[in-house]
Amino acid sequence: MMESQPTYCRITDDLCSSNGQKIHNTQKLPAQQWFRFLFDHLELEYPKFHKMDGLSKLGVLGVEFLKTVESLPTETDEIAVVFVNKHSSLDADLSHQEQIEKGSASPAMFVYTLPNIVLGEIAIRNKWYGEQQFFIKNEWPHELIHEYIVTIFELNKANRIIIGYVDYFQEKTDGKWVILTQDQFNNEKIREEINTFFDK
Amino acid sequence: MVQPDSMGERMIYIGAGNIYSPLGKSLSENWENLLAGKTAIRPYSSLKPEDPPLYLSRFEEKGNFYTRIFDCIDTTLLSLVGQEPDWSKTVLIFSSTKADIEQLESRNIEQSLLDYTCTKLQEKYPAKTAITVSNACISGITALLLAHDLIKTGQYENALVVAADNCSTFVSEGFKSFYAIASDFCKPYDTNRQGINLGEGVASAFVSSDRNIFTNTPTALLGGASANDANHISGPSRTGEGLFRATKRALEYAGKSPEQIDYISAHGTATRYNDDMESMAIDRLNLNEVPVNSLKGYFGHTLGAAGLIETLVTIEQMNTNLILGTKGLENPGTVKPINVFPDTIEKHLNTVLKSGSGFGGCNAAIVLEKLK
Amino acid sequence: MEALKETLKQQIIEHLNLEELTIADFPDDEPLFGENIGLDSIDSLELIVLLENEYGAKLSSPEEGKQVFHSVNSLAEFISSHRTK
């Protein structure tokens, strides 16, 4: 039996593409407005989105685009999410640092000074109670990610996994996501395709 | 019961643990001070002079972040046969929330990045792979989980797990804006608890499928699980949903039933909501009778280092069949009753749970077992 | 008082990023933490910061916020009697 192809999504400063569908940032909107534009494009009704920092908005949008292609269950333990980035929550960290220097820290900003908050936002949005992991690395750690996916499937920790590179720092957006089942992961061609997708 | 997987009965061991904290510069010094009921927490003046003093567990000399980490790891390696593992079969896992975040005060962006620290570690300890895990206050537990899972699936033989976080103005000002900081010594699980004391520290340990690499008897690491509350990014779930699920899955994964658990090394941050949430989860798991403690009254909350520091103290407790009292506790007062006590008790410890919860709604639990 | 309430509504919308809401969505006596406006625990901490920064009005504890933050009416009353700027 042929395995179905996995669903991908990519969001940069100028482009959002998801399995062939492309949205261009033709107006060269700055990051926050670009995220709002994509949010409106998806016709989401989720006021919490507007309270999030850039990193969380980016992560939530990526998963929402995957969901436009693949219908995913809610109220489940069976979807694992692993994200990687270089800058951790540095964008929020700098804002928080500046607020401290001005003499008044904001709780709504401080809460975003941890990279894994985006995983929490995704869990809340989708009622996903499953395994989550946030890795920090300057370069895409393709061996370790491969090994991590092996642990999820071999140890029966979930039946699907969303893998993401989610980096947002000073208006620079770099997001890549793929969702995989074990069958898809067992296909060597798909594994190569994923490596190419994240490595470039 | 555990589903037999393709790896069969591959056992995973943890040992060679070391702690470098304001309470002691080695595991034995920390343990002596814990047994003596000492705390490293002291009052310090706040950033704003009009604010009440901050109660912190902080190193007296601000010293070099890296010197402490290297010192800690070097001692861990001394407890291995040959004093050096086969690095080509070893993964280095660094657990931290903010590492050297104070570099941001002078806008040293590069040095503040977590991978900057991780790369420095890999330069000195040349493991095949090195990665940072950053999952708020459960980072130390998820680092051990990752180590276990990578070795269980036969992809590595060893893991060097290192955890470190600092007491920074960055973090203390943030928690202050959350009204989550106590203006006195913290009181985990107490009726009058009013918040956390922050702490700093470093811990390191070795995880391996080779029991014979340890010079002292190691402990079995049976694995575990993580789970999200899917409820709120900063407020813990009122029903303890994520912690309940993480602990349940950890027990299933380890093939243990709640009746087999002799002790729970819990999180116990001493905030009203966290401690109530934990009592809810413990109640839902029918673990109310099992002795529980929090070590925050000794070390403060060391964030990304807490999970590993507390796991290593748990192993010391298993080795001595002692359960430390929860320092700061006077009148237990959680929404569901749990078995907490202020003074150290004796109990034969065979199988124990270590759990934690953090911002982002994350929760994790692992199971440890004494070797015959 | 009416002018203060209008300013306050605008500040709440901006400070708490309530982008889907306008001043018209804030009747003076509507519970802020009720279903329509739907603030949460972080918002209440942010309101403490807002009161301090904009009006120099200090709350003694987050518990006090429960009454003060009930509605725009109660907030405006608190500000009028506690403001230092």
**B contact set with C (CB within 8 A):** 177-179, 232-235
3 state DSSP class of A119: helix
Q: Do A108 and C38 touch (CB under 8 A)?
A: no
> B215 is written with which tokens?
């010079």
Q: Do C41 and B234 touch (CB under 8 A)?
A: yes
Locate the chain B residue with the closest alpha carbon to C44.
B178
- Domain with C32, as residue range(s), is 2-82
Q: Do C19 and A111 touch (CB under 8 A)?
A: no
Cβ contacts of residue B339 below 8 Å, gap of 6+?
B288, B289, B290, B291, B292
Confidence band (pLDDT; 50, 70, 90) for A20?
confident
- B partners (3+ CB pairs within 8 A) are A, C
Residue in B131, B175, B231 closest to A137 by CB:
B131
- C partners (3+ CB pairs within 8 A) are A, B
The shortest C-alpha distance from C42 to chain B (Å) reads 8
pLDDT at B7 over 80: no
Q: Do B360 and A119 touch (CB under 8 A)?
A: yes
For tokens 């209008």, name the residue: C6
Q: Is A128 an 8 Å CB contact of chain B? A: yes
Cβ atoms B218, B14 nearer than 8 A = yes
Locate the chain C residue with the closest alpha carbon to B235.
C41
Least confident residue range of A184-188, B97-101, B342-346, C31-35: C31-35
Average pLDDT over chain B reads 96
pLDDT at B5 over 60: no
Pick C22 or B209 by higher pLDDT.
B209
Q: At what angle do helices B272-284 and B241-254 cross, to 10 degrees?
A: 40
* Chain segment C22-73, per-residue pLDDT in tens: 998 889 999 999 888 889 889 999 999 999 899 999 887 778 888 899 999 9
Scored b (16 or more CB within 10 A) or e, B74-88 reads ebbbebbeeeebeee
- Whole-structure pTM value: 0.96
Q: What is the largest CA-CA distance in chain B?
A: 62
Average pLDDT over chain A reads 96
**CB interface of A with C, residues 155-184, below 8 Å:** none
Q: Do A50 and C46 touch (CB under 8 A)?
A: no
Predicted confidence at residue B2, as pLDDT, reads: 38
Q: Is A114 an 8 Å CB contact of chain C? A: no
Beta bridge partners of B114: none
**Mean pLDDT over residues B106-123, rounded?**
97
Q: Is A115 an 8 Å CB contact of chain B? A: yes
**Mean pLDDT over residues B49-60, rounded?**
92
For residue A114, the chain B residues in CB contact (below 8 A) are 97, 134, 136, 359-360
> B318 is written with which tokens?
């298993």
Confidence band (pLDDT; 50, 70, 90) for B190?
very high
Provide ipTM, 2 decimals. 0.97
pLDDT at A2 over 60: no
- Single-letter amino acid, residue B224: G
Interface with B, mutate which of C15, C43, C45 (most B CBs under 10 A) = C45
Share of chain B above pLDDT 90, in %: 94
Least confident residue range of A19-23, B113-117, B192-196: A19-23
Q: Is A103 an 8 Å CB contact of chain C? A: no
Q: For residue A78, what is the enclosing H or E element?
A: none
* Chain segment B294-313, per-residue pLDDT in tens: 999 999 999 999 999 999 99
Cα dihedral value C42, C44, C45, C51, nearest 10: 140
**C contact set with B (CB within 8 A):** 40-42, 45, 49, 61-62
* Chain segment A58-86, per-residue pLDDT in tens: 999 999 999 999 999 999 999 999 999 99
Cβ atoms B182, B301 nearer than 8 A = no
pLDDT at B189 over 80: yes
**CB interface of C with A, residues 16-75, below 8 Å:** 16-21, 38, 42-43, 45-46, 49, 52-53
Share of chain A above pLDDT 70, in %: 98
> B20 is written with which tokens?
């470098």
**Mean pLDDT over residues A84-100, rounded?**
98
Domain count, chain C: 1
**Mean pLDDT over residues A172-189, rounded?**
97
Share of chain B above pLDDT 70, in %: 98
Cβ atoms A184, A103 nearer than 8 A = no
Predicted confidence at residue B1, as pLDDT, reads: 32
For tokens 């694995």, name the residue: B223
Confidence band (pLDDT; 50, 70, 90) for A6?
very high
Phi, psi of B104 (to 5 degrees): -65, -25
Confidence band (pLDDT; 50, 70, 90) for B143?
very high
Beta bridge partners of A173: A168
How far, in Å, CA of A103 to CA of B196, rounded?
A: 22
Predicted confidence at residue A3, as pLDDT, reads: 58
Residue in C16, C45, C53 closest to A51 by CB:
C16
Q: Do C42 and A50 touch (CB under 8 A)?
A: no
**Mean pLDDT over residues A170-182, rounded?**
97
Task: List strands edge to edge, sheet with B198-199.
Answer: B41-44, B54-57, B198-199
* Chain segment A117-162, per-residue pLDDT in tens: 999 999 999 999 999 999 999 999 999 999 999 999 999 999 999 9
Q: Do B170 and A143 touch (CB under 8 A)?
A: no
Predicted confidence at residue B3, as pLDDT, reads: 42
Predicted confidence at residue A1, as pLDDT, reads: 44
Residue in A50, A104, A108 closest to C42 by CB:
A108
Predicted confidence at residue B8, as pLDDT, reads: 58
Phi, psi of B226 (to 5 degrees): -120, 155
For residue C30, the domain's CATH number is 1.10.1200.10
The shortest C-alpha distance from B177 to chain C (Å) reads 7
**Mean pLDDT over residues B193-208, rounded?**
98
